[in-house]
Amino acid sequence: MIYPIILIPIIVGLSAQIIKFIFSIFRHKEVKLKFLFISGHMPSAHTAFVVSLATCLAYRDGIYSSTFAISVVFAFIVIHDAIRIRMNIGENGKIVNKLIKEVPGINKEDYPILRERVGHKPLEVFVGGILGVFLTIFLIQFF
């Protein structure tokens, strides 16, 4: 049955997002629905999802299978994006926001404030990966 391979990573990804939501409530000391959909921060839901998928495939097909190999490559791409690419986008947003504030003669209403925290720090990705492995191993027992 293929459903656990789809359901377990979805459950793990949603669990990571809910944990992130709870951390955001404690960090900001207020409850906002937007915290449920925030990207970046602890833990990485994307990493938890792809690591969970790879763990499911390792369990079902073995670590020497082509499906597991493809899932590992997919996971590396997603993790690289989470750490490097989206973090650089956030850094660029920070610089653009600073320029808009400091350059005279710019109508600030013409430029929306860019998000400065888009990607993940390595620790956030690591925790997402650990969550992905262990929660998947736990959930496999129920499927």
Q: How far apart are CA 90 and CA 116, in angstroms?
A: 4
Place of tokens 């293929």: 2
Q: How far apart are CA 131 and CA 143, in angstroms?
A: 18
Q: How far apart are CA 10 and CA 109, in angstroms?
A: 39
Where does the pLDDT of residue 1 fall: very low under 50, low under 70, confident under 90, or very high at 90 and above?
low
Mean pLDDT across the stretch 92-116?
A: 81
pLDDT at 2 over 90: no
User: What pTM does this model have?
Assistant: 0.85
Q: What is the pLDDT of residue 112?
A: 83
